[in-house]
Amino acid sequence: MRRIGMLTSGGDCQALNAAMRGVVKTLYNSGQQVEIYGFLDGYRGLIYSKFQMLTGKDFSGILTKGGTMLGTSRTPFKTIQDPDENGLNKVEAMKQNYYKLQLDCLVILGGNGTHKTANLLRQEGLNVITLPKTIDNDLWGTDMTFGFQSAVDIATDAIDYIHTTAASHSRVFIVEVMGHKVGWLTLNAGMASGADIILIPEIPYDIKKVVDKIEDRNRKGSGFTIIAVAEGAISKEDAKLSKKEYKKKLAKRIHPSVSYELAEAIQKKTGIEVRVTVPGHMQRGGSPCPYDRVFASRLGAEAGKLILDNQYGFMVGYRNREVVRVPLEDVAGKLKEVSPDATIVQEAKLLGICFGD
């Protein structure tokens, strides 16, 4: 009998259910007896022993469903070793619940913070396997994360829809795409939708360069401009500030986000009407696209095989179009950013896309 715990932690995204289904179907198809314990609402479920016993039937019909059947929550790594409001040691509580249920392994689906905690549990002696989910595609050790392509599709649709109204009214439109620290989602959606300007956190922008691009388009007869902006985009001036100084400045910001700040600056400098659209959490929602259904199923199947092989301490990743096993300690705490020198950035510039640098 194998006893497997599963949880999804951090922000939700498409294909979480598909990935869990891949794990469970692989285990059941092996012919071995399996018990599945689904911890509810992320690490909180493991901390406070909130779980459900699941059977194969629970994983039937969920391939196309977005969100997560187990629920999720954010449990920041920086406070995971702090006692809760009642003095409970959260790490010890997770370990005790793992051993109390006599689990053979924990399968954890999540992004960067989730992987830090997963690696901590590995260091504490628990058998852990992780799966890389995030719409940001910013996990180190894998070329792709599930949820990313679905979010790219949604963000691309949003920018596509903006094109017609922008052209009709000869306006500048800013579409704010998710991504606080990295710009993979904005970069891909921007390129896919023909955005004229793409602003991402890794390439601080000069407002003058942004305005120059807009005015150049106008001179050439293009009466509108589409700007794809990552929510974590930053100006060159702000990029020179220390983290402490920048946080202090953000606390005093009167605009809802960088996009509105940018819109005001562009309108003042050009006199052109600027509109902002924020798709927001729509980018996390809905059914996973076909690519993510296949991709998450493949990763889930490999995670199931790892369990059957008694191989723990790995994240199931994807490199050079092959599913791979990546040591968890190599993943935790690392961020996969967009390099300003990346070929995709250089190719985008060859297409005439401005990055504000």
CB atoms within 10 A of CB 133: 30
pTM here is 0.94
Summary mean pLDDT of the chain: 95
The secondary structure of 25-84 as a DSSP string is HHHHHTT--EEEEEETTTHHHHHTT-EEEE-GGGGTT-TT--S-TT------GGGTTS--
Q: What is the CA radius of gyration of the chain?
A: 22
Contacts of 80 (CB under 8 A, 6+ apart): 43, 90, 91, 117, 120
pLDDT of residue 248: 84
**Residue 61 in this model has a pLDDT that exceeds 90:** yes
**Residue 72 in this model has a pLDDT that exceeds 90:** yes
Domains of the chain: 2-146+288-331 (3.40.50.450), 149-284 (3.40.50.460)
pLDDT of residue 161: 93
| d(C-alpha 319, C-alpha 85), whole Å | 42
- Closest C-alpha to 73, from 29, 105, 113: 113
Residue 241: which pLDDT band, with cuts at 50, 70 and 90? confident
Which H helix or E strand runs over 167? helix 148-169
Convert the pLDDT of each residue in 117-174 to its tens digit.
999 999 999 999 999 999 999 999 999 999 999 999 999 999 999 988 888 888 899 9
CB atoms within 10 A of CB 66: 20
- Residue 257 is given by DSSP the state S
Annotated catalytic residues are 136
Phi, psi of 175 (to 5 degrees): -110, 115
**Residue 98 in this model has a pLDDT that exceeds 90:** yes
pLDDT of residue 247: 84
